[in-house]
Amino acid sequence: MAPSFDAAAVAAHVADAEARVQAAATLAALEPLDAELAGRRSVLGAWHRELGGLDEAERKALGRLLHEATQSIGAALVARRDRLEADDLRARLDADRLALDELEDLPAAGPVERGHRHLVTRTRDELEDVFVAMGFTVAEGPEVETDWYNFEALNIPPGHPARTMHDTIYVDAGPAESVVLRTHTSPVQVRLMEAAVRDETLPLHVVVPGRVYRRDTPDASHLVEFHQIEGLVVDEGITFADLAGTIQSFTSAYFGPDIRARLRPSYFPFTEPSAEFDITCTICRGARCRTCGQTGWMELGGCGVVDPAVFAAVGIDPSRWSGFAFGFGIDRCAFMRHQIADVRALTDNDVRFLRQF
């Protein structure tokens, strides 16, 4: 039985199909053409069914022609669909575009509310200003430190009880050396002393503010992430009396002339002798209240004379140089000065609270 089509008929069908595809102006008009031009009920589908009654040679030749025709029509459909989809997307984007010249007659949105620096940032800046006025310079350092800088150079060897007190957050940096999120800003003091020895720039009078981390349970007076500021003086002839005078000068300058400081014996691995320093309760001004535990005093930070072991770790001759260090929380200063009951309010991002400062 002779087929009802030949190569010319197939070529004519493909040309007609491609013309119809190109004539489709929308995706909706293009959608039914797939079935009409190359589906089972199309002319091509009917011609495919005729192949079963042909001899092998003729079936292969005409089958190849029909396959190529189907491929050509399919490619034309895909290309036209991509073009129409791109045109449709462009039209929707053009429709959504906002012409700025059309906004001239729109009413103004009203005054823009500007933000301000966070209370902790303001407190840090104010503390820096106080110490700069006292002759200190300001330095910063990395928040991720090696075990050497965070502990060992500060006379806290492995197994020392003070490591447990810090509840350290360790960073997985490989087996070579332990790496931690710094638990205090004292590692920067070590770096500064090393640099001063290398560059022969002693003496040092510096304060170091920054963020520190400890694995504490947050409560009214503790945070996992908080801010400290530490002071370091290394010079000739420095004594504990210089430290006491510096603490009192800072207290009066920052909290007011009616607020005084006192020192209580304490222990820190990197200072000897060491002390805690308290200030007059900022709530009751020393009259004794529940906030200060009926003592009239509130603990602010720690201090002491730099231990000779720390000097030895950084290459400073303790027979010539001496010094003192002190440190306290910036967040604690903020909530003590502004009489905030819970330090966690500083990190809650409650706009109603932040607007008060």
Q: What are phi and psi of 57, to 5 degrees?
A: -65, -45
Q: Which residue has the tokens 């409560």?
A: 219
Q: What are phi and psi of 314, to 5 degrees?
A: -105, 5
pLDDT tens-digit map of 230-248: 999 999 999 999 999 999 9
Reply yes or no on whether the pLDDT at 142 is more than 80.
Answer: yes
Instruction: Dig out the tokens for 313 from the structure.
Output: 């770790």
What pLDDT does 302 receive? 92
134 touches 250 (CB < 8 A)? yes
Q: What is d(CA 233, CA 228) in angstroms, rounded to the nearest whole number?
A: 17
What pLDDT does 317 receive? 94
What pLDDT does 102 receive? 61
The 10 Å Cβ neighbour count of residue 337 is: 16
Reply yes or no on whether the pLDDT at 1 is more than 60.
Answer: no
pLDDT tens-digit map of 129-138: 999 999 999 9
What pLDDT does 101 receive? 63
Residue 100 confidence class, pLDDT cut points 50, 70, 90: low
What pLDDT does 344 receive? 84
Residue 287 confidence class, pLDDT cut points 50, 70, 90: confident
Reply yes or no on whether the pLDDT at 213 is more than 70.
Answer: yes
What pLDDT does 170 receive? 83
pLDDT, average across residues 302-327: 94
- Give the 3-state secondary structure percentages of the chain, helix then strand then coil, rounded to 5: 45, 20, 35
Residue in 264, 293, 294, 257 with CA at minimum distance from that of residue 278? 264
Residues whose CB is less than 8 angstroms from the CB of residue 345 and which lie 6 or more positions away in sequence, other chains included? 335, 353
Domain 119-354 class, CATH top level: alpha beta
Q: What is d(CA 53, CA 51) in angstroms, rounded to the nearest whole number?
A: 6
Cα end-to-end span (Å), the chain:
97
Q: Where are the domains of the chain?
A: 7-103, 119-354
In 46-196, DSSP assigns E strands to: 137-138, 144-146, 170-171, 179-181
pLDDT tens-digit map of 245-277: 999 999 999 888 888 999 999 999 999 999 999
- Strand pairing class (297-306; 322-329): antiparallel
14 touches 44 (CB < 8 A)? no
What pLDDT does 103 receive? 60
pLDDT tens-digit map of 181-197: 999 999 999 999 999 99
- Tell me the pTM: 0.65
What pLDDT does 39 receive? 75
Across the chain, mean pLDDT equals 85
Residues whose CB is less than 8 angstroms from the CB of residue 212 and which lie 6 or more positions away in sequence, other chains included? 143, 181, 182, 183, 184, 185, 225, 226, 227, 228
66 vs 250, residue with greater confidence: 250
pLDDT, average across residues 329-341: 82
- Strand pairing class (204-213; 137-138): parallel
DSSP assignment of 286-322: TS--TTTTTSSEEEEEEEEEEPHHHHHHHT--TTT-E
Tell me if residue 121 falls in helix, strand or coil. helix
What pLDDT does 65 receive? 79
Reply yes or no on whether the pLDDT at 124 is more than 60.
Answer: yes
- Residue 231: what residue type? G
Tell me if residue 252 falls in helix, strand or coil. helix
